[in-house]
Structure 1
Amino acid sequence: MPLDTDHANNSNFTDVNGHQIAWRSTGAGQPLLMLNRFRASIDDWDPALIEALARHHQVITFDNAGVAASGGSVPETLEGAADIAMGLAKTFDLDRPHVLGWSMGGMIAQIIAAKYGDEVGGVVLAATTPSFVLEGTVPTPQEWLATATKEENTPEDMQFLFYADTEASRSAGLSSLARIGQGNATAGAASKTTMHTVGAQGAATRKFFFGEDGAFKGLNDISAPVLVANGDRDRAFAVENSLALVRAIPDAQLAIYPDAGHAFLFQNADQFSEDVTRFLAGL
């Protein structure tokens, strides 16, 4: 259904399970619910990606409970975050929305696919990982985690976290940060969530990483069509982890982008959006 939105940088608010959830809607077509990365806010999506996806979809971005502009507390588990996301979709009476999850959002999307498979269309898992208890996975390096959890990140930190150490990838990273920061790469790199949010999300994510929440047990039962995508030089979640997801999820498809890191979807916004659109159009 069409959503009333100002199509600007200002967010709209809707009550979901007692939480005021900040959201935006761009474009028209089959709804595409966007699940964000660790410590990111609604303002950390690259506008180039949102605009490209919105050519064919109604793209819905939002801050989950306890994140940035949204009210409430960060859920103790990623399943709780998945329930909020689907609660938002149900509030809007969306008809089998597609789901795109990036990084931590991809972990949440795995849970949605397993728990709410009949209520969603296609699922895109971007630069993410299954629980590390799954055979063939590679744990996230401590250097990456230490940088990702700093109180403030510089543009140089963001290059390390999200882009490959090549001239082309680093240039794409600076361009993306400038788009996010409305012309200022430093503003694009600035944290938009509190350290309290970071700590709460970190605790929930660790439960997922080490299999304590049991999320990995549902991968084999996923019936929704799934596309797994990643950059070939992702420092956070190695390509091996994408392969582990494809092996575990029935009939999942795989797309790997060359010379790209954790933010391959920003670096390759047009190509990735075309691939996503093609995948979802065939469902």
Structure 2
Amino acid sequence: MTTATALDYATAPNWSVHADNGIDYAYREIGTGAVPLVLLQHFRGNLENWDPRLVDALAAGRHVIAFDNVGVGATTGTTPSTIAQMAHDAIAFIETLDVPQVDILGFSIGSFVAQEIALTRPAIVRRLVLASAAPRGAAGMHGWAREVIGAVGKPQPDPADYLGVFFTSSPASLQAGMETLGRIHGRTTDVDAPTTWATQQSQYDAVCEWGIPDHNALHRVSAIRQPVFIANGDRDPMILPHYSHLLAGLIPHAQITIYPDAAHGFLFQHAAEYAADVTAFLDAEVH
């Protein structure tokens, strides 16, 4: 790993680290702090799909690390088709940080992986932040609605489809979406490799497997004992906000916030407020 970090995400260099599982992981980091905050990305997203405005706000008082999991972007290997294996792959990257514990922020499919990391290797997780999340086995999560997967599941991304899923139809939300797209696509040098169609297919297979209705699987998350902050937009069409409430009821030490007039990209639309809420959660004393 590097020993110095950049001042902002938009200009931070891409790095690579070789892990014990034989994978070379691409990552980007900014900020400083004793406990790193590791970011787990959404479906088909790579290093470029984090909004720099959000990452910079999160890194104002801590070390923030975004990375591509196996087979994603510039990271080597083949993307697995299960969330469980994605979690093991993420743990292999986290082990390269050589720190006792990390905080984890998982977004969308990244939130599934984050839950599995906390269950598989609880000792390395200090606190957990879940954005647009759902527990394994929840009824109605076996694949996304046809209009959602039709929008985000095409071989080539479409900005209009992105706006339709990540933001609402209100003028304020759409404006926030356009500004987010401008920031996300503003980097022109040292750009991460695009996510392949094979990776997208494997990720969606993993999403579908995770969402097979299973009442017994729902109770797995009750074993998560770390403090957990759960959040979503009130109009997320991809992972409905009622799954956030379900998770908050299943995890013993969870708190929840739902952001108004916001969809799947609520954390980008409400970047300043969300970063402040995440920071307050991560910095709070444990009672």
Q: What TM-score do the two structures reach when normalised by structure 2?
A: 0.90
Partner of 1:128: 133
Partner of 2:242: 240
1:70–1:50 distance in 2 versus 1, CA, 3 Å: same
SS at match of 1:74: coil
Partner of 1:4: 3
Query: What is the CA-CA distance between 1:138 and the residue it aligns to?
Result: 9.2
Q: Distance in 2 between matches of 1:235 and 1:163?
A: 9
Query: What is the CA-CA distance between 1:4 and the residue it aligns to?
Result: 2.8
Partner of 2:24: 20
Contact (CA 8 Å) 2:168, 2:261: kept in 1 or not? Answer: yes
More displaced, 272-281 or 193-202? Answer: 193-202
Q: Distance in 1 between matches of 2:203 and 2:241?
A: 23
How many correspondences in the alignment? 276
SS at match of 2:126: coil
Partner of 1:277: 279
The answer to whether structure 1 residue 53 and structure 2 residue 87 are counterparts is no
Contact (CA 8 Å) 1:232, 1:258: kept in 2 or not? Answer: yes
Contact (CA 8 Å) 1:36, 1:104: kept in 2 or not? Answer: yes
Instruction: Specify the code of the residue in structure 1 equivalent to 2:17.
Output: T
The answer to whether structure 1 residue 32 and structure 2 residue 58 are counterparts is no
Contact (CA 8 Å) 1:20, 1:70: kept in 2 or not? Answer: yes
Deviation string, structure 1 residues 141-178 (Cα, Å, up to 9, x no partner): 22101211111222211111100110100000000000
Kindly report which structure 2 residues correspond to 1:36-115, keeping only aligned pairs within 5 A, or say none: 36-115=41-120
Instruction: Specify the code of the residue in structure 2 equivalent to 1:258.
Output: P
Query: What is the CA-CA distance between 1:217 and the residue it aligns to?
Result: 4.4
Deviation string, structure 1 residues 35-65 (Cα, Å, up to 9, x no partner): 0001001111000011000001100000001
SS at match of 2:54: helix
Instruction: Specify the code of the residue in structure 2 equivalent to 1:98.
Output: D
SS at match of 1:243: helix
1:40–1:66 distance in 2 versus 1, CA, 3 Å: same
Q: Distance in 1 between matches of 2:176 and 2:88?
A: 34
Q: Distance in 2 between matches of 1:146 and 1:208?
A: 19
The answer to whether structure 1 residue 203 and structure 2 residue 184 are counterparts is no
Q: Distance in 1 between matches of 2:30 and 2:5?
A: 9
Deviation string, structure 1 residues 204-262 (Cα, Å, up to 9, x no partner): 221111158x8644211111111110000101111111111111111210011001110
1:6–1:226 distance in 2 versus 1, CA, 3 Å: closer
Q: Distance in 2 between matches of 1:40 and 1:192?
A: 9
Match of residue 163, structure 1, among 163, 167, 184: 167
Q: Distance in 1 between matches of 2:206 and 2:213?
A: 11
Q: Distance in 1 between matches of 2:187 and 2:44?
A: 22
Gaps of at least 5 residues in structure 2 are none
SS at match of 1:279: helix
Deviation string, structure 1 residues 57-109 (Cα, Å, up to 9, x no partner): 10000000101100011123111111121221111112211000000000101
Q: Distance in 1 between matches of 2:230 and 2:283?
A: 16
1:136–1:159 distance in 2 versus 1, CA, 3 Å: closer
